[in-house]
Structure formats: C-alpha cells, structure tokens
A and B are shown apart, each in its own frame.
Chain A
Amino acid sequence: MKKIRLGSATAWSRDRFEPASELLERGNIDYLCFDSMSEVTMSIAQAQKLDDANRPGYDPYLVPRMARVLKECKRKGVRIITNSGWLDPIGAAERIVELAQELGITKLRVAAVVGGILTDRIADMGLTFIENGEPISKSREQIVTGEVYQGAGGIIEALKQGADVVITTRVGDACLYLGPLAYEFGWDLNDYHKVAKGMVVGHLVECGSQVSGGCFADPGYKDVPDLARIGNPIAEVDEEGRVIISKVPDSGGVVSVDTCIEQLLYEVQDPANYFCPDVVVDFTKVTFQQTSDNEVEVIANQAGKPRTPTLKALIGLSEGYLAEELVLFAGPGALSRAEATRELLLERFKIIGLQPQEIRWDYLGINSVHREATPVSEEVPYEIVLRVAIKTRTRREAELLGIEVDPLAVNGISGIGKWGTHSPGSRIRPIVGLNSSLVPREEVPYEVVIREVEFV
C-alpha cells in the first residue's frame, strides 16, 4: 500500500538546524517540509528591506539550511517544500539553483509559487479591516505589507511539474503538508473531508517539535525525556487515509495523545470552524489513539466543510517605534529602589519633554509576565528588575529612553545594575502592527515559475 512520509524540519525561520538532517538520515521520509514564517515575518522582512534595499527578500536562513540537505535530498528523491520565499520566491528559487550548481548537482528543478502579495494594491481593493471595520484605504500611507494566505493549489501544481524543491511565499502553514498529500493521493481540493484530513495533519506538525514534546514539559507533571535531542515529527499517511504521527527514531521528546491534543488546539479559535484557505476544518471530529511508543494515530474522517469564498490577508501597518530598558536591583530595599527609579525617570521625561504614546512599567520578579493579572503576594523577592517600555511616533523619541537610562549609572539610585546588551539601537525597533482582512479568492491567482539547473 502506498504510504507517504512527511518530515517537519522547522516551525519557523530561526528554528534548529539539526532536525532536517536527522529526518533525512533516519526518518525514511518522502518530503522534507520547512515552515519559515510566523504572522509577522513578511512585514518585518519588508521593513528590513526598506532599510537595506540589497537585502534578499527571502529567508536569510534558506541557503544555509538547503546547503546541508539539498544534495542528499536529490540523491534520495526526497522533495522539499518551504514557504521561505517570503517577499521574493523567484529570487529564492534562483539562489537555490545557484547553490545546486555550487554543490555539483547536475539536475534540479526548483519551483517558485508566486501570487498573493498585495502590498501595492490592497488599499485599492475596496476592503475593510476585520479588527475595526475601517476601510483599508484610510490607512494607505501606513501600509508596509499586504499578503493573503494562499492554499495548497500552487504547491500541487509545482509538484505536478516535477519540482524537486517548491518555494512559496505566504501560504497557510499547514498547506506545506496538505500540498504533497493531495498531489500524491490525487485529492481534489473540492473533496473537503480529504482536504480537512490533510490540514489536520499539517496543523499538527507545522510547528515542528511542538507536537513531539516541545513546549510541553512541566517537570513532575509532564516529563519529556532528552529534550536537548528532541526529534522532529513525521506524519505518515497511507492511501486508505490512515494517519500516524511519530518522530525521528532514537531521538528525545515524546509523541503522545496529550502532545497531539495540545497542538491540535494551538492558535485555534472556534475548534468547530478552523478556517483554512482550501477548507474549513471541524476539530471536534478529530480523535487520537496511541498505537505504540511515540506513535499516535489521528482519526479525522468527516472533519471537513466547504471552503469560504475569501482568503485571509494580513496587512502590516507602520505604527512608530518601541524602545525598552531594564534596570537591575537586588538585596535589601530592591523594590523601593526600583520604584524610586521609576519616579526619577518619569520626572526626567517631563524635564526633557518626552511624551510617549504609551508607556509600560514592569517589575521583573513580581508582575512582568502575567502583568495586572498577577496575584498579589506579600513576599518581597530578593531581586527586582525594573523594565520600562515606550511607544513613540519617531525613532528619535524612542532613542531618548536609552539616553535617559544610561546616565542612571552615575546619577541614579544606589546599588543600580544595568543590563549588558548595548549595541546602539538594539533596544529600539520599528512597530509594524498587523491587521487582517478577507479578500475574494478570485482576485489573487497563483502562478508557478520554474528555475532549473541545466544539464552539464
């Protein structure tokens, strides 16, 4: 019986490097899939490109990642699927062709899946933001990026055209897995139960080791063996639709019903209506069964509903700058010295005329993580770190925070410590706020562009 094994190499751009090689060497996989995006990836990449036009528009980790596995993937016939094309999937495909030549690979077909980047036209499409109902056109001047989540159609088309490597821009993360499954088993994207199964598979493994013991360990409650050598997940699907989630053999981590449930609900709103580009999935129809150590069967047979007429778009808006500083205290009176520092800084802001749009003070060790929801405690911790963060309209205003905090080393409260990192500007970043919208799908067609290593 035909079985397809998909290896999940990365959950995002800066994930670990080893899992790709381990999956390739020991995972007996047919596809190696790299998710390289989070929600903010495109807008940050665009903001960086505005600062430095020569910067490639694709994932800067793409080449070092591919350099480790490309030759062996080609030799074994393992095909690569990734969304690391970001702003420039064609540029990424051309760079991979160059890399292949550098590695002495004599034949390689790389497909770029393009379409879906709407930065230049989203303000003119008559759309509104989901968050506040405002027309997008009103925010025209602030728009940094706009792109839709494409479905699996482009990936399927690229595989049909014989691509060894498929590089996309923004697609639904799980589509990196649905694509090869639909291609291999000939699923019609209108067959929503099958497509839903593919999306459940993709959703479970798209965040890499989060389904195999990552983000799971809670010592004494949920123990995970050998987390330092955690194995990334493998999804196996056979032609009868049986799905097994496992991980790299002889690795750390754990695949259990509990790890699968945590990941099933991760970043989900209404579990009965999980909206995807190609389908709506009902996660309340999904169950799990432990079939052996580190192997879980996923049962998701009637979990689909027809797709919606729209695709979700993310729109990045330029919204000023953020700056943050940390000031350290310990020992007797640590908290009162931190509080006095807060008062001192507020007075200094008045003197220099710094009026941030927003300001936030946290006391690390007391209330910085759960913020105002932190339970009140009588205990005074030994150490306190005062954190101040501000939001400003201009970079210059953001810089004023550091300019005021640095002198506290000599003119502040006694026993003051400063945190170490201090390359100029490192504590300041531009804010690209994300909003979303729904775009009629016929307005955003995709296209497959092939680049090849020529025969030598």
Chain B
Amino acid sequence: MTKKLLLREIAHSRSGEKGRDSNISVIAYDPKNYALIEETVTIDAVSKLFRPISKGRIRRYEVPNVHALNFVIEDVLEGGRTRTLAFDESGKALSSLMLSMEVTVPDDLMSQFEKNLRRANQ
C-alpha cells in the first residue's frame, strides 16, 4: 500500500540564484529516504511544478554523498535577479514550491513520518 504526502515531510530544500538560473536542492531528512527521493523527484515531476515559470531546461544532479539532489531551473527569474519584474526577485522562495510536490510513499514510511511529526509538534 502507498500514500501521498508532500515532499516537505521527507526533505528540506534551499534555493539560490546564479545569473538567470535558480538552483534548488532537495535533501532527505533521513538518508534512508534518499533512494525514494531519487526515484520520485524526477525531472518530469519537477517540470510539472516549474514549467509555468521556467523558460529553459531543468537539470538534475545527484549528490548521494549528502543524500541530496540539486536541480538547476534555467531562466526561471524572467532574465535573472538584475532584470526581473518578479516580486521575489532572487527566487529564494522557490524552495517552498519544490517542497509542495506531492510524492507517493510506502505506507510504512508514512507511519514513521507521522511519528516524527508528532515528535516535532510536541
């Protein structure tokens, strides 16, 4: 059995800018979930989220040594920080768009996550 949850529950993220592009990391909280993230957070899945604002390619890099993926979203800032009319001119808020991705996970992972969440909320 599987369940759906937001990527935010199993990963954290930081976004930065480089010229016209943004980079957005996806880092497994628990290194054990890296394989799941690697399988689920594909270029296709990221494209679905970012295509409306990305004018260029989306590249994915695997960084297993730190159980993370790094995405480069090309031309996502309407010309880059220096030229953009976007309100979030640096794209630093884009990490939260990444974490809004819905991912399908096995049930047992879900119960483990619920335990974590209870602990976090205490």
Contacts and interface: CB of A to CB of B under 8 A. Distances in A.
Q: Is B truly associated with A? A: yes
Interface of A: 39-40, 43, 131, 215-216, 218, 220-223, 258, 261-272, 283-288, 316, 319, 322, 324, 358-360, 362, 364, 368-373, 375, 387, 389-391, 431-436
A294 B20 CA distance: 35
Grouping DSSP codes into helix (H, G, I), strand (E, B) and loop, the B interface class, with mixed when no group exceeds half, is: mixed
Contact of A360 (B80, B86, B97): B86
B86 A265 contact: no
A267 B83 contact: no
8 contacts: A261-B25, A264-B66, A265-B14, A265-B70, A266-B25, A267-B18, A269-B61, A431-B82
A358 B117 CA distance: 45
Nearest to A273: B61
Q: Which 10 A-B pairs have the closest CB atoms?
A: A267-B16, A372-B52, A360-B85, A265-B25, A389-B85, A262-B14, A368-B87, A261-B66, A433-B83, A373-B52
Q: Kindly name the residue among B18, B59, B85, B88 whose own CB sees the greatest number of chain A CB atoms within 10 A.
A: B85
Interface of B: 8, 12-14, 16-21, 23, 25, 27, 29, 49-53, 59, 61, 63-68, 70, 72, 78-83, 85-88, 92-94, 96-97, 100, 117, 120-121
A266 B91 CA distance: 12
B68 A265 contact: yes
A431 B19 contact: no
A287 B100 contact: no
Contact of A434 (B19, B61, B97): B19
A231 to B, nearest CB: 19
B12 A221 contact: yes
A373 B50 contact: yes
A283 B63 contact: yes
B25 A262 contact: yes
Considering residues A264, A270, A373, which has the most beta carbons from chain B within 10 angstroms of its beta carbon? A373
B14 A269 contact: no
